[in-house]
Amino acid sequence: MFLHMFTNVSLKAQITWLSASLIFITTLVLTTNYWLKTASFFEQQLQQQMHFAQNVLKQNLKQKEQVLSTSASVLAADFGFKQAVATQDTNTIQSVLLNHSRRIDADLMVLTDINGQFIASSDSARYSSIKTKSYFSEFLLNKIQAKIVAIENNVYQVIVVPVKAPRTIGYAIIGFQFDQQALIKLKELLSLDITFVKQGQVIRSSLDNETLNRESINIIDKKNDDVSLLFSFGLYFHQSLAIVSSDDIKVVLSASLKTLHNDFKQLMLATILAALIVLFIAISSSRLMSNRVTNPLQNLMALTRDISSGNFNVPKIKHNFPIELNKLYQSFGVMGKAIEQRENQITYQAERDLLTGLFNRHKILTEVQSLLSINTNIALINFNVKSFKALNDTFGINNGDSILQEIANRLNSLKNKFEPESTVLSSRTHADDFLVAISIESISQLTGIIELLRSALEHPYLLDEITLKVPLYYGIANSIEHGQDAEKLIRRATMTASNAVKTRHTFLYYQDGEDEAYLYKLNLIEELKQALEQESSPLFLNYQPKLNLKTGSIDKSEALIRWINKQGEFVNPELFVALAEQSGLIVSLTHWVINEVAKQINLWNQLGYRFSVSINLSAQDIQHQDFVNYLVDTVAKHNVQPAQVILELTERDIADNETLILSKLNHLKTLGFEVSVDDYGIGQSSLAKLKNLPVDELKIDKCFILTLDKSQQDQDIVSSTIELGHKLGLRVIAEGVENQASLALLKQFGCDYIQGYHISRPLKADQLIQWYNTYVSTN
């Protein structure tokens, strides 16, 4: 939690705060400690002062008592005085008492009889009224000689002496008053203020009135003598003193704490000042310190920024760094170098074909782009090794690789054969596919360039002491005629090379329009793929009825796929079926057809229409491992008997992988499906093969039927094919019947079924039912 508070604060501020607070705490502890010590010392001093004062006070009282006692004894022994007392000569007694009190400076001088009754005093005006008995009777009784008493708010130290003649005839009482002057004297002597308290009342004090008013409560209530100055905010410290010679009078000594408070104030001021100075020094020095750390860190940060933006040059350190940071800085430098090396390595790998060291497809594209962007015209030559796969299979992959590497070597040395200012870039774009870009000024250079290239590449290759001719196919495009778009240009050269392979031309120049057709096909494939995955598909089926010539009824039809693409155009089924075959989409396309057909047959069955339906298959379909299962499961799912499904395959498809396909066809036949040989007559299958084919039907290609009525030759071929089919136990059907004359001829030849525009064009399922209903009623 505490640490989290610091996560958003800079290192500099953290260091400053840390040292400042450490210093603050230290100052606080030291000051408190000092203050504690000072306070306790002061306390001790105070205690000592109090103790000393007590002693002095006691001493002082004792001395006075001595004076009083001597004086009283002298008085009591005075003969004249004794005589006056005995004769009760009040005037004489009074004058003797007055003289005597003057001599010793006593404030009180009284004579009583033995019962304590007042007889005379030195100052009769003042003391005659004193009820001596009440003040002194106890005194007399207990024979206490000296005592401190309070008489009418005056405090006295008194002594009582018996007057003997020789028996006691009275008592002489002599005393000193503690008046203000006496208290001041005592205060000077003790260095403490002194206060007399009687029964919770201050009777006399050396303190001035103002202080006394403020402090009287503390003075009166002072119960114990504990000193705790540390927490005392009072101005005085009071300590009460029991005087032995008095029962009800307390003496309270008061020490002023003013000096202590002043000392404390000064200490506080000094401490705060010192703390501020130290704090200031601490903050500035820790700032300096933290700068020593954060400046290098900022340098390091700048360095990492440089490295991350690809600048791996680590400059020399400008400032004096602490050793650790210096080492860190150097490690960053080492790291930068390592990253640079790795980056170079990665860049090399990202741009190169690892086998040959030539550029890869991506790199040549960017290179061509940058050449075109500075208006350099280029010739792009894509070439491909003829039957490289076979070459690999025959001589082994290592030898195959050696050939590719040798091609790369020859391409690398090609540059020397061109003008030094021309650019020659070579890349391997795919297994046995190379792309060369050469800068040109005009189209007329092309022939020369091809010749140079061919002479470099086509002389024999040496493989483990075998010399091997490696034929190549070239596709050539150029930026002068075929546009400035690098990607398009490369595609055009590549496409031309694959056309060269397909058409077995050693080299082909790109022709305008080829690219568009190629792109159109590519787009179609992509769109078809989506169409097959879509829930509501833009694909649908048409059904073309087949007429049974023997019964005159319609009991079969052929499912033909249709597609209206995104642009709303009808796409030729022959085109997109061929594209589906080339791209491998045919398997899912056929799955789609099988499912639709099974669904349709089931629907028709339920409506009471029984048609067998032909489905067109490709060689890839039947060879696919899932095909038979899918077919069987799908028809079963839709409650359709296999006998209602006819599978149409061309002779060419059967020839594709004859053994496998024949075994599959046998299997399908045992499952109850019918098989038909489509487009019969245009392939090259021998009669011997036909004999062993596990099929039910021959479908004579429409090229023999379309103009049957006009061609004697077609009629001969068709009639003999029908005869042959029948001899092999097959049903024969003719497609492409466009007129009544052909129909009549076929009937005459004994053909079993016919299909063609003359009967009906392919129709949507519901249209077929409408057509069928009217057809049945008119025939």
Residues at the contact surface with ligand C2E, assessed by CB under 6 A? 544, 559-561, 573-574, 577, 593, 616-618, 678-679, 702, 735-738, 755-757, 762
| Residue 679 makes contact with Ca ion by CB under 5 A | yes
CB-wise, 122 or 676, nearer to Ca ion? Answer: 676
Assess 43 for contact with Ca ion (CB under 5 A): no
| Residue at 299: amino acid letter | N
> Whole-angstrom Cα distance, residue 471 to residue 490?
22
> Which C-beta is closer to Ca ion: that of 494 or that of 614?
614
- Residue with Cβ nearer ligand C2E (231 or 570): 570
Decide: 258 and 272 in contact? Cβ < 8 Å.
Answer: no
Min CB(571)–Ca ion separation in Å: 18
Cβ neighbours of 225 (radius 10 Å): 12
Q: Considering the rule CB under 5 A, would residue 678 count as an interface residue with Ca ion? A: yes
Cβ neighbours, 10 Å, residue 770:
11
| Least distance between ligand C2E and beta carbon 736 (Å) | 4
To Ca ion, the closest distance from the beta carbon of 686 in angstroms equals 20
653 binds, among Ca ion, ligand C2E, none (CB under 5 to 8 A by kind): none
Quote the tokens at residue 22. Answer: 């450490």
CB of 430 to ligand C2E, least distance (A): 30
The upper half-sphere exposure of residue 478, i.e. CA atoms within 13 Å in the direction of its Cβ, equals 20
Question: Which is nearer to ligand C2E, 27 or 760 (by Cβ)?
Answer: 760
Select from Ca ion, ligand C2E, none the partner in contact with residue 573, using the beta carbon and a kind-dependent cut-off of 5 to 8 Å: ligand C2E
- Please report how close the Cβ of residue 763 comes to ligand C2E at its closest, in angstroms: 11
Which residues have C-beta within 8 Å of that of residue 504, sequence separation ≥ 6? none
Q: Give the pairing type, strands 674-680 and 697-700.
A: parallel
SS (H, E, C) 20-40: HHHHHHHHHHHHHHHHHHHHH
Residue 561 Cβ vs ligand C2E, minimum distance, rounded to whole Å? 4
Which residues is 249 bridged to in the sheet?
198
Least distance CB 771 / Ca ion (angstroms)? 20
Residue 459 burial (CB count, 10 A): 11
**Residue 116 interacting partner from ligand C2E, Ca ion, none (CB closer than 5 to 8 Å by kind):** none
**Rounded least distance, CB 775 to ligand C2E, Å:** 16
Q: How many CB atoms lie within 10 A of CB 94?
A: 20
Q: Which residues lie below 8 Å from residue 770, measured CB to CB, with a gap of 6+?
A: none
SS3 of residue 630 by DSSP:
helix
What's the Cα-to-Cα distance from 281 to each of 133, 154, 289, rounded to whole Å? 79, 64, 12
Nearer to ligand C2E, 229 or 708 (CB): 708
- Smallest gap from residue 637 Cβ to ligand C2E (A): 19
Pick the closer one to ligand C2E by CB: 100 or 591: 591
Give dist(CA 162, CA 169) in Å, integer: 8
Check: CB of residue 386 under 8 Å from CB of residue 458. no
* Smallest distance from ligand C2E to CB 709, Å: 13
Complete DSSP assignment for 525-587: HHHHHHHHH-SS-SEEEEEEEEEETTTTEEEEEEEEEEEB-TTSPBPPHHHHHHHHHHHTTHH
Q: Which stretch binds Ca ion (CB under 5 A): 224-232, 438-446, 543-551, 644-652?
A: 644-652
CA distance 640 to 606: 11
Q: Which lies closer to ligand C2E via its Cβ, residue 509 or residue 753?
A: 753
| Residues of this chain, 608-627, that bind Ca ion according to CB under 5 A | 616
The pair of structure tokens assigned to 230 is 């540390």
Q: Which does 731 bind (CB under 5 to 8 A by kind): ligand C2E, Ca ion, none?
A: none
C-alpha–C-alpha distance, residues 549 and 743, integer Å: 9
CB of 365: closest distance to ligand C2E in angstroms? 37
Nearer to Ca ion, 648 or 651 (CB): 648
| Partner whose binding site includes residue 535, from Ca ion, ligand C2E, none (CB under 5 to 8 Å by kind) | none
736 binds, among Ca ion, ligand C2E, none (CB under 5 to 8 A by kind): ligand C2E
Whether cis (ω within 30° of 0) applies to the bond prior to 166 is: yes
Q: How far apart are the first and last CA of the chain?
A: 98
**Binding residue for Ca ion (CB under 5 A) from 648, 651, 709, 752?**
648
Least Å distance, CB 757 to ligand C2E, is 4
Q: Which is nearer to ligand C2E, 414 or 695 (CB)?
A: 695
Rounded CA separation 511/19 (Å) = 82
Residue 664 contacts which entry, ligand C2E, Ca ion, none (Cβ below 5-8 A, type-dependent):
none
653 binds Ca ion (CB under 5 A): no
Please say whether the beta carbons of 465 and 417 come within 8 A: no
- Indicate the residue among 56 and 560 with the shorter CB distance to ligand C2E: 560
- Residue 749 to residues 173, 701, 723, 742: CA-CA distances in angstroms? 184, 16, 8, 10
Specify the pairing of strand 424-430 against strand 433-440. antiparallel
Q: Phi/psi class of residue 648: alpha, beta or left (left: φ > 0; alpha: ψ in -120 to 50)?
A: beta
Out of Ca ion, ligand C2E, none, which partner does residue 112 contact, by CB within 5 to 8 A per kind?
none
Q: Determine contact, residues 730/525, Cβ cutoff 8 Å.
A: no
Of 74 and 717, which has the nearer Cβ to Ca ion? Answer: 717
577 binds, among Ca ion, ligand C2E, none (CB under 5 to 8 A by kind): ligand C2E
Provide the minimum distance between the beta carbon of 637 and Ca ion in the complex, in angstroms, as a whole number: 24
Q: What is the C-alpha separation between 244 and 581, in angstroms, rounded?
A: 136
**Pick 236 or 749: Cβ nearer ligand C2E:** 749
674 binds Ca ion (CB under 5 A): no
Q: Judged by CB under 5 A, which stretch of 67-75, 148-156, 437-445, 648-656 contacts Ca ion?
A: 648-656
Residues at the site binding Ca ion, with contacts judged by CB under 5 A: 616, 648, 678-679
